[in-house]
Chain A
Amino acid sequence: MTAATSPHGSAVHDVWRFRELWRSLVVRNLKVKYQRSLLGFVWTLLNPLLTVAVLVTIFTYVVRIPIPGYWAFVLSGYFVWSFVQQMLSTGTYVLAEHAPLRRSVAFPSEVLVLAAAASRLVEFAVELALALTALVLFLHGGVPASYALLPLLVGIQALLAVGLTMPLACLSVFYRDVQHALPVVLLVLFYACPVFYPASLVPEAARSVYLLNPIAALLTLYHTVLYEGRWPSAVLLGGTSAAAVGIAWLGYAVFNRYKRLFAEIV
Chain B
Amino acid sequence: MKLLVPVKRVVDYNVKVRVKADGTGVETANVKMSMNPFDEIAVEEAVRLKEKGTVTEIVAVTIGPAQAQEQLRTALAMGADRAILVEADGAEPLGVAKVLKALVEREQPQLVILGKQAIDDDMNATGQMLAALLGWSQGTYASKVELSAEGAKVTREVDGGLETVQLKLPAIVTTDLRLNEPRYASLPNIMKARKKPLETVKPADLGVDLTPRLTVVKVEEPPKRQAGVKVASVAELVSKLKTEAKVI
| A and B bind | no
